Structure 1
C-alpha cells in the first residue's frame, strides 16, 4: 500500500527541480512547462474518484495492478519523449496510473477494519501519510541529485523499477477476492449501470477539464470553454441527483457538512503547498540563481521538518490542533516569501524550508484522519479518491497561478505576487478550521473506538 501510494507524490515533487532544465532543453517558457504539472494533476483529479469508485465496485487488486503497470509505460514514454508535448502525454499517463493505489489502500483499510472491529487504524494511516510525506518532501532533493547525475530523463526512468516493484508486491500480497460494497451489475431506476456511473464520470471529467484548460490560458478566445464546463457541470449535478447509485453522491455530501469542510480545507492547504513546491523551487533556480542540485539540497530541511512532525503526531487521533498549528505555520511561511530577493542568504532559504515542513507534515495527515471518520464506509474508496481530487485541484490552482505570475521567467516580482495570493488562501484555511466545531469530535471519537 505504501509503495503504490507514493508513486504520485514522488513524480510530483521530483519535477519541481526539473521544470527549468526541461524548459531549457525544449526552449519552452514557464507558461508551457506548467502543462507538465497540469497534465498530471488534471488526469489525477479526474482519475482518483473514478478509479476509487471502480475499487469500491470491483475490489482493489485489478485496479492497483493495472494502474501501476501504466506507471511503467508512462516512465518509458517520458524517457523517449522527442518534444515537450510528448512529455506532457507521459505525465497524463502517470496521472491516471498513479490514481489507483491510494483509493485501493483506503478500501483495504476499511475492509480490514470491518473484519477486526478496530475502527480507528491511526498507526496505519500515519504510516501511509509518513510514506507520502517522505517522498513528497525528499522528492526535490532526489530529483536534483538525479538531474545532476544523468539529466532530467532520469526522473522519468525511475518509474520503471518502481512500477515493477509494485506489480510484484501487488500480485503476491493483494487479496484475489474482495467483498464488493457495490454490485457492478445492478441497475438504477433510469436504466443505467448502478455500480459504475459512467455518464456521471464522463460529465465530471468534461467539466473539470474545460475549466482547467481555460485557467491555464484565460484568454477571450478560450471563453467558450467556460460555457462547456458550466454545461457539463450542470449535467453532472442533474445526473448525480437523479441516479440511484451516483458516481459522487451529492445528496449524501449535502447532508455531511463536516466532510465537505474537509474537502475544502484539502483544496486550500494544497494550493499553498504546491505553490511552494513548484513556484518557490523555480524561483530558487532562476530568481536566486541556484542549480537544480543545490535547490534540492536547500529544500532538504522541508523534508526533515515534515517527516519529524508527521512521525511525532501521526498516532494522535485529534485533528483540530494539527490543523490550527499547520494553518498558522503556513500563514507565516507565506509572509516570509515577501522578504526574499535575489540576494537572500542561504540560511533564510533553509529556515523557510523548515517552516514550510510543519504544515506539510500536519495538514494532509489531519484531513486524511478526518475523512476516515466522516466518510460513508461503503464509499471509502471513492471518498478517499475525492479527497485526493481536491488535493490535486489545489495543485492545479497553484500551477495556474504560477504560470500567470511568472510569465516568461520565475523572477522575484512574480514570487511576491504569488505570495500575496497565498496569504489570502492561507488565511481562509485558518478561518475555516476555526469555524468548524465538528473537528473536535473526530479526535474524541477515535479515542473511544480505538
Structure 2
C-alpha cells in the first residue's frame, strides 16, 4: 500500500481508544442495575434512596456530556480523555472503599463526570479523520461505535451479576480501576493532539456564562424529575427562568456554547434529540425497572436477572450487524419504534408466575430497538450537526438519552413502592405504551429522515 493510499483511509488504530472511551459511560450506567438491591440490603437503604446511585450518575453526565463535548471541540480529544481516565479511576476507588450510601453516590457522580469525554471524543475523531482523508469515514465505523455502546449497556447487568457473584457489589466499582488505566494509556499513545479547526479559522472560545446557565437549567429540571411533587414545582419555574436567560445569553454570544440559532433553524436535529429522549425512557425502564421486578416480583437472583438480559444484547448485536452498513436511517427508526411499542404492550402480560421462555421472548423483542434506535439517532446527528460542533452535538445526544434515563428512574420510583411488584410493573408498562406510541408517531411524521444517509451517499 502506498503512502498516499494509507493517508486517504480511516486510521483504524483509533478504533480501540474510541470504542473503550465510548463504552465507559454505558457500562457504568447499566452495571449497577443488578447491584441496587444488594447495595440496599447491605447498607439498609430503601429503593427510593438507592435510586440516587442511578440519578447521580445521570445528573452528572446529562450536564457533563455537552459541556465536555464543547471542550473537546475547542481543545481536542486527547487532554479531555486523559483527565476523564483519572476521574474514572478516582470514582472507582471511592466506590470500592465507600462506607455508606452518600459516599457511593459521590463515587457515581465522579464516574459520571469521568466518562463524559469518551463518546464526544469518538465522534470528534470520526469527523477529524474525514477532514484529514478528504473522504467521509466508513459507515462501518459509526456502526461499530453504536453497536459497542448499546451492547455494553445491555451486557452491563450481566457483567454486574457475575461481578457480584465473585466479589460482591463493590466489585462493580472496582472494575473501573483497570479500565481507567487502559483508557489513559491508549489515549496517551494513540489520540492525536490539536483540533480539526482549519488553519484559517479563528480559534473557538469557551462560553462559560452559557455553560453555567445551561448547567443550572438542567440541574433544576433533573432534580424535579428525580422526585416530582407539587411541593417542588418551584424547580420547574426556576428551570423556565434559567432556560430563558440561557437562550438570551446564547443569542448574544459571538461564539455560543450552544448555538440556539442553529437549533431553531434545524427542526430535524431537535427531533433527533427528542427521539433519543423517548428512546432512553423505554430502554432504561427495561434495564432498571424490569430488572428490579425480575428480582423482587419474579424472585430471580441478581445473576439470573443479569443473565436473562443476554438475549437482549445478542439480538441488538445481530440487528445492528445486519443493518449497520446501510446509511439510510428512517426504516431503522420506524421498525425500532414499533418494536418498543410491542414490547411495552407485552409487559402488561407479566406476573409472578410468567414462564422463563416468555421472558426470553420479551427480552428479544426489546433487543430489536436496542439494535436500531441508538444507531439511527447517532447517524442522524452525525449528518445533521455542524462539523465544528460535532463533539458537543454528540454530547447533547447522550444528554437526551440520560434525560430519558432519569425520567424512567422517576417513573419507576412513582410506580414501584417499597419493592418492584407486579402491579407497579403494569403501571410502568402503561406509561411506556404512551411513550413508545409518541416515539412511533414522531418518527413517522419526520419527513426529513428520508434524506438522511441517502443524500449523503449521493453527494
Give the aligned partner of residue 208 of structure 2: 198
Give the conservation status (yes or no) of the 8 Å contact 1:58–1:180.
no
The 2-side partners of 1:143 and 1:301 are apart by 16
Give the conservation status (yes or no) of the 8 Å contact 2:66–2:393.
yes
Partner secondary structure for residue 453 of structure 2: helix
Give the conservation status (yes or no) of the 8 Å contact 1:281–1:295.
yes
Give the aligned partner of residue 169 of structure 1: 186
1:2-21 equivalent positions in 2, closer than 5 A: 2-21=19-38
The 2-side partners of 1:112 and 1:313 are apart by 23
Are residues 1:310 and 2:320 paired? yes
Are residues 1:385 and 2:388 paired? no
Give the aligned partner of residue 414 of structure 1: 424
**CA offset digits 1:403-430 (Å, max 9, x no partner):** 1111311111111111111001101111
Give the conservation status (yes or no) of the 8 Å contact 1:184–1:195.
no
C-alpha displacement of 1:224 = 2.9
Are residues 1:26 and 2:56 paired? no
Give the aligned partner of residue 250 of structure 1: 260
**CA offset digits 1:110-169 (Å, max 9, x no partner):** 111012122253111011111112211111111111111111100100000001001111
C-alpha displacement of 1:181 = 6.3
**CA offset digits 1:265-306 (Å, max 9, x no partner):** 111111100011000000000011100001111111111101
Give the aligned partner of residue 52 of structure 1: 69
Structure 1 runs of 4+ aligned residues shifted over 4 Å read 181-186
Q: Please, what is the CA RMSD of the aligned residues? A: 1.6
The 1-side partners of 2:196 and 2:379 are apart by 23
Give the conservation status (yes or no) of the 8 Å contact 1:71–1:163.
yes
The 1-side partners of 2:233 and 2:150 are apart by 38
> Residue 132 of structure 1 is aligned with which of 139, 149, 173?
149
Give the aligned partner of residue 147 of structure 1: 164
Partner secondary structure for residue 16 of structure 1: helix
Give the conservation status (yes or no) of the 8 Å contact 2:74–2:195.
no
The 2-side partners of 1:3 and 1:106 are apart by 13
Q: 1:251 to 1:182 in 2, by over 3 A?
A: farther
**CA offset digits 1:208-246 (Å, max 9, x no partner):** 111211222223443332332222222111111111111
1:78-227 equivalent positions in 2, closer than 5 A: 78-180=95-197, 195-227=205-237
C-alpha displacement of 1:342 = 0.7
The 1-side partners of 2:359 and 2:23 are apart by 26
Moved more, 229-238 or 316-325: 229-238
C-alpha displacement of 1:77 = 0.6
Give the aligned partner of residue 190 of structure 1: none
Q: Which runs of 5+ in 2 are unaligned?
A: 1-17
Partner secondary structure for residue 432 of structure 1: helix
The 2-side partners of 1:54 and 1:181 are apart by 17
C-alpha displacement of 1:109 = 0.9
Partner secondary structure for residue 438 of structure 1: helix
The 2-side partners of 1:124 and 1:446 are apart by 16
Give the aligned partner of residue 275 of structure 1: 285
Q: Which runs of 5+ in 1 are unaligned?
A: 187-193
Partner secondary structure for residue 343 of structure 1: coil
Partner secondary structure for residue 349 of structure 2: coil
Give the conservation status (yes or no) of the 8 Å contact 1:56–1:182.
no
Give the conservation status (yes or no) of the 8 Å contact 1:182–1:195.
no
**CA offset digits 1:378-399 (Å, max 9, x no partner):** 1111111111111111111111
> Residue 442 of structure 2 is aligned with which of 412, 421, 432?
432
Give the conservation status (yes or no) of the 8 Å contact 1:183–1:195.
no
Give the aligned partner of residue 191 of structure 1: none
1:282-293 equivalent positions in 2, closer than 5 A: 282-293=292-303
Aligned length: 442
Partner secondary structure for residue 288 of structure 1: coil
The 2-side partners of 1:174 and 1:87 are apart by 31
Are residues 1:62 and 2:62 paired? no
The 2-side partners of 1:438 and 1:79 are apart by 47
Give the conservation status (yes or no) of the 8 Å contact 1:56–1:181.
no
